[in-house]
Every structure is written in structure tokens, then in C-alpha cells.
Amino acid sequence: MSAAVLVESGRVLVSLRLPDDGRHADLWEFPGGTLEPGETAEEALVREIREELDLSIVAGTLYERVIYEDGNTRIDVRFFRVARVSGEPRALEVAKWEWAGPARLRELEFLPSNRAVRDRLADELRD
């Protein structure tokens, strides 16, 4: 999986999962998704952000890699710094989105696999 760390004006773009999105419905996350066969993590991220939020982005450097285990499930998420090329976020395949500053990041209930990155960003951005 790959996820976007898009920071603008001291806030980071986050999205709320759809209510019918299984056991992790209604949790916040850094937008992104699963790789399709033949895709690199960066290519998947560009595609997923376009599909979910109607944004055109460029994937930059790897910000953090998290391997999260939940019972029999192992999730490998690569979080990339990204830059917006064009577009304004629209909730296409997410319940909603938000630009969150450090205090707001700490308030939101994130996916377990995203919490360490949320905490790191909240510390880096500081109110």
C-alpha cells in the first residue's frame, strides 16, 4: 500500500474512510491505497489520489514505511511526501477530507497503521 503525506501551509491532507469500508470504516487515514499488478508504489499513489480526491500529484521521497500486523493480517504501507500539481480535493471515494493541523491530527481517530505517522507529523508541524 502507499499513502500520501501532502502538507500545505502547516496542515496535512487527511481523509475519512467510507461507512461501508469494512471494519475500518469511519476512521481517518492518509489518502492512498493498494497497488495494482505491475504498479510501483508511487504510480499507485498517483492513481489512488486521483480516484479518491480528484487531485493530480507528484510522489516525492519516502517519508516513512510502516509494517503493521493485526492478527493474521500484515500491512506494509509506504508513506510518501507528495506535491499537488493541480486540482482542489473532492470526496469521490472517501466520506470526506480535511486539511488538519497538529491539534486536529491528534483529535482524529486514525487507522492503526497510520497512527505513528499521524503522531510524527503532529510533532513536526506543531501549532
- Residue 21 is predicted with a pLDDT of 65
pTM to 2 decimal places: 0.92
Domains, the chain, ordered by start: 2-125 (3.90.79.10)
| DSSP codes joined into one string, the chain | -EEEE-EETTEEEEEEPPTTSGGGTT-EE-SEEPPPTT--HHHHHHHHHHHHH--EEEEEEEEEEEEEEETTEEEEEEEEEEEEEE-----SSSSEEEEE-HHHHHHS-B-GGGHHHHHHHHHHH--
Mean pLDDT by 10 residues, the chain (127 residues): 96 92 83 95 97 96 94 91 95 96 96 96 87
